[in-house]
Amino acid sequence: MDWLYWLAVLTIAYFVVCIYLILTGDCDIILYLFTKYGKKPDVLRGKVVWITGASSGIGEYLSYELAKAGCRLCLSARRKEELERVKKQCLLSGKTTEENILVLPLDVLKLESHTAAFGDVCKKFGQVDILVNNAGRSQRAAWEKTDLLVDRDMLELNVIAVLSLTKTVLPSMLDRHDGHIVNMSSVAGKIGAPLSGSYTGAKHALQGWFDCLRVEVATRGVSVTSICPGPVFSNILSTAFTENHGEELGGAMKTGEKRMSTERCAELCAVAMANKLDEVWLSNNPVLFFLYLNQYFPNLAKIVSKRMGLNIIKKIREGQQ
């Protein structure tokens, strides 16, 4: 019976360690272990990385991380002047040069421009090794008040545009038997985010589409990574959709809110990319704990969320609790 005793001890110890890492961490356990013992972003040196939404927020700071790793970067967003600012900051890292950064203004909603944009990247660098689908917008609105046109706009930007750009780049990756698709999803792609119904629906759709792709291309040299950040400091509230079509929230985050820093989020994203992890969760608590609760005890998570109520959940997501 001694072996049963030690098996029980080891099992209990394992769960204690896991709970400790969840309660004290800012990312899922697997990603945490890779930050300690996995490949560093330097392994991406020389890779051609195309980042959409690179002019601000997570896309901007991920550009800085990858510049430090020695990647060749294509920076895309609508605002050229902001992309030029990001490029200058990348050059300050001392790990890259002017010739290794392409500023490529792009409105991802203009699907007809994707082929030409891909051609421009290939003309400069020859190929795209990693596509980072980061461009997108959030939302703050009550479900029943949200105009159906807002739902449509959200799907077109956060899903259809991502599918279109990926379908443009993917064939060349499959031909080379080498490539990596990285999607900036969200915690809202794993659990419901009340008062962001359109955003939550779009991110769930993104997860589903690329969960399928991940399996289909697993033996064809292409990897798919879904990155799911929780509350992170960025300008995402300024351009967030509301309940009204064509309207922007115009909000701003405040210093002192309980959010992950943009720098830390970018660091973790770079590690996930370097190790080609399938899916990672980046968040402080209590959101990280709730992600695990939802993953392994979904019915309990739903009960807890209803008991917590909308006001408490709203405070948590806005970094106020």
Q: 254 falls in which pLDDT band (50, 70, 90)?
A: confident
Tell me whether residue 8 is in a domain.
no
With beta carbons less than 8 A apart as the criterion, state whether 257 and 320 touch: yes
Choose the most confident range, by mean pLDDT, from 30-39, 242-251, 305-314: 30-39
**What pLDDT score does 298 carry?**
94
Q: 6 falls in which pLDDT band (50, 70, 90)?
A: confident
Tell me whether residue 6 is in a domain.
no
Nearest to 25 by CA among 291, 263, 229, 288: 288
Tell me whether residue 18 is in a domain.
no
Q: 321 falls in which pLDDT band (50, 70, 90)?
A: low
Cis amide prior to 286 (ω within 30 degrees): yes
Tell me whether residue 158 is in a domain.
yes
Per-residue pLDDT averaged across 223-247, rounded? 94
Per-residue pLDDT averaged across 282-289, rounded? 95
Tell me whether residue 167 is in a domain.
yes
With beta carbons less than 8 A apart as the criterion, state whether 128 and 74 touch: yes
Distance of CA 126 to the CA centre of its chain: 26
Residue with tokens 């794993």: 190
* Stated pTM of the model: 0.94
User: Containing domain of residue 151, as a range?
Assistant: 27-317
The 10 Å CB-count burial string (b at 16+, else e) for 272-293 is: bbbbebebbbbbbbbbbebbbb
Largest CA distance in the chain: 70
**What pLDDT score does 249 carry?**
92
What domain count does the chain have? 1
Tell me whether residue 51 is in a domain.
yes
Tell me whether residue 75 is in a domain.
yes
Q: Of 14, 64, 199, 292, which residue is the catalytic one?
A: 199
With beta carbons less than 8 A apart as the criterion, state whether 52 and 77 touch: yes
**What pLDDT score does 315 carry?**
81
Integer-rounded Cα radius of gyration of the chain: 20
The pair of three-digit structure tokens given for residue 263, joined into one six-digit string: 């720098």
Per-residue pLDDT averaged across 179-199, rounded? 96
More confident residue, 11 or 124: 124
Instruction: Give the pLDDT confidence of 124-146 residue by residue, as tens digits.
Output: 999 999 999 999 999 999 999 99
Per-residue pLDDT averaged across 148-165, rounded? 98
Per-residue pLDDT averaged across 18-26, rounded? 94
CATH of the domain at 90: 3.40.50.720
Tell me whether residue 226 is in a domain.
yes
Please say if the pLDDT value at position 1 is more than 80.
Answer: no
Q: Is 61 a catalytic residue?
A: no
